[in-house]
């Protein structure tokens, strides 16, 4: 009886899809639809006004999927989810509704699948063989396995701005230490903006997650991330025209490693004449101090792959807003604090302590030393510094204060 029930539903849906002009789909007004293991249902639109679907087989949707019920549309999701929703349309397909949809597995095989329903979840595997447009919304991968996104072709499209809502991927990786590939793309070709993320220390709590997004900017690096007040002392002509959001939802945050991929237009020298690609490094905005430069821009650049990898981001330096810039971090051995606008400040933006030859601390802070102590200019000569870099050993050295002759 059960098998005949499944067969009957499959035949009815096939008839609706094949013979209706214009095509129509399935609307659930309160039933419990059951699609058994091995069964395949083909329909145009699939809408749930009320009721649920117990999916152990496959539903292929050529149009849109909509959840207007108060539930999550699919129920009885197994520990290893086995039901599949396949998007296979030749035009734009939309995920719509008033309540999030909790999918078991999703296959994107059509032209373009567009998310109109924030916080929908994939409990099993997202198989990407087309464009999945996040469209200012958040998609949740509720599976900590590194193969929860299987990439075949196409890309995840983030590319929307903070003011209108970021297109975000939230990956519930919990306490896992695997390497996670987020196949973002710009639309210029494949996953050309792929992010690669790894927690280096076991994160806590076990139900934590990491949220990812990226978007392009103009030559002045606008729009900024919503939590960024300033470029600090960064030079926009030396910055890639792109920001990333990588928000680790843990306390404390884990140590991490991240690979950023960028596209040629992000570093176009006509808009960014100060960029030399081989010197690009990654850095983040400290939203507590409102600074970019309290932790030096760092990483290994790979111009052939258009990527920068930061191998060790300590927990204390892990904030959510990131960009790429030419690394101007250098320790000069002399400066001239004479207020002529040239080389007046030593190490602005870095947490540094200055000590005189008698071992007296005369300056400490992130604003840069202006060559004064107790609001008076110090005498020319050699002074010693301790530069604090979160997650690394302190850097110690000396600097000469040069007093220009009048």
150-165 pLDDT tens trace? 999 999 999 999 999 9
Q: Do the beta carbons of residue 261 and residue 195 sit within 8 Å?
A: yes
Would you kindly state where each structural domain of the chain is located, as residue ranges? 2-326, 334-401
Task: Identify the DSSP state of 179.
Answer: E
Which three-class secondary structure state does DSSP give residue 13? helix
Tokens standing for 398? 């000396």
Q: Please give the backbone phi and psi of residue 334, each rounded to the nearest 5 degrees, phi first.
A: -160, 155
Closest CA to 16 of 27, 6, 29: 27
Q: Tens-of-pLDDT digits for all 406 residues of the chain?
A: 443 344 344 434 433 333 334 456 899 999 999 999 999 999 999 999 999 999 999 999 999 999 999 999 999 999 999 999 999 999 999 999 999 999 999 999 999 999 999 999 999 999 999 999 999 999 999 999 999 999 999 999 999 999 999 999 999 999 999 999 999 999 998 999 999 999 999 988 889 999 999 999 999 999 999 999 999 878 899 999 999 999 999 999 999 999 999 999 999 999 999 998 988 999 999 999 999 988 888 888 899 999 999 998 999 999 999 999 997 555 667 888 988 877 888 877 677 899 999 999 999 987 889 999 999 999 999 999 998 765 456 778 899 999 765 4
Tokens standing for 91? 């035009």
Phi/psi-derived region of residue 303, left when phi > 0, alpha when psi is between -120 and 50, beta in every other case: alpha
Cis amide bond preceding 252, omega within 30: yes
pLDDT digits (tens, 9 = 90+) for 337-393: 988 877 888 877 677 899 999 999 999 987 889 999 999 999 999 999 998 765 456
Identify the CATH number of the domain defined by range 334-401: 2.60.40
Q: Is 399 exposed, middle or buried (0-12, 13-18, 19+ CB in 10 A)?
A: buried
Strands 256-261, 307-313: parallel, antiparallel or unpaired by DSSP? antiparallel
Q: Please give the backbone phi and psi of residue 19, each rounded to the nearest 5 degrees, phi first.
A: -110, -10
């Amino acid at each position: 009886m059960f098998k005949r029930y499944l067969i009957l539903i499959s035949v009815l849906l096939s008839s609706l899809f094949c013979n209706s002009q214009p095509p129509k789909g399935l609307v659930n007004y309160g039933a419990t639809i059951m699609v058994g293991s091995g069964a395949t249902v083909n329909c145009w639109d699939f809408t749930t006004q009320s009721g649920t679907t117990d999916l152990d087989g496959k539903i292929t949707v050529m149009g849109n999927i909509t959840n207007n019920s108060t539930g999550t549309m699919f129920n009885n999701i197994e520990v290893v989810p086995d039901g599949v929703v396949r998007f296979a349309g030749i035009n734009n397909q939309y995920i719509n509704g008033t309540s999030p949809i909790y999918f078991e597995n999703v296959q994107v095989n059509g032209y373009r699948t567009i998310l109109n329903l924030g916080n929908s979840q994939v409990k099993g595997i997202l198989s990407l063989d087309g464009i999945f447009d996040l469209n200012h919304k958040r998609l949740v991968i509720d599976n900590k396995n590194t193969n929860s996104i299987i990439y075949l072709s196409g890309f995840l499209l983030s590319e929307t701005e903070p003011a209108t809502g970021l297109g975000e991927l939230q990956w519930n990786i919990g306490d896992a230490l695997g390497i996670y590939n987020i196949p973002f793309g710009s639309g210029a070709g494949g996953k050309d903006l792929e992010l690669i993320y790894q927690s280096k220390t076991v994160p806590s709590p076990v139900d934590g997650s990491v949220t990812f997004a990226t978007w392009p900017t103009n030559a002045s690096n606008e729009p900024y991330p919503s939590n960024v007040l300033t470029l600090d002392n960064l030079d926009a002509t030396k910055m890639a025209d792109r920001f990333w959001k990588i928000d680790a939802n843990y306390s404390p945050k884990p140590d991490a490693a991240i690979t950023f991929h960028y596209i040629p237009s992000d570093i176009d020298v006509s808009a960014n004449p100060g960029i030399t690609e081989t010197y690009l490094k990654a850095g983040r905005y400290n939203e507590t101090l409102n600074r970019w430069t309290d932790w030096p821009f760092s990483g290994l650049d790979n111009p052939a792959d258009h990527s920068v990898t930061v191998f060790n981001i300590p927990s204390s330096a892990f904030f959510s807003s990131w960009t790429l810039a030419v690394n101007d971090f250098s320790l000069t051995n002399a400066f001239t604090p004479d207020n002529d606008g040239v080389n007046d400040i030593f190490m602005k933006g870095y947490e540094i302590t200055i000590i005189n030859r008698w071992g007296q601390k005369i300056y400490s802070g992130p604003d840069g030393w202006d060559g004064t102590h107790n609001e008076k200019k110090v005498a020319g000569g050699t002074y010693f510094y301790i530069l604090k870099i979160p997650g690394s050993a302190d850097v110690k050295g000396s600097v000469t204060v040069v007093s220009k002759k009048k």
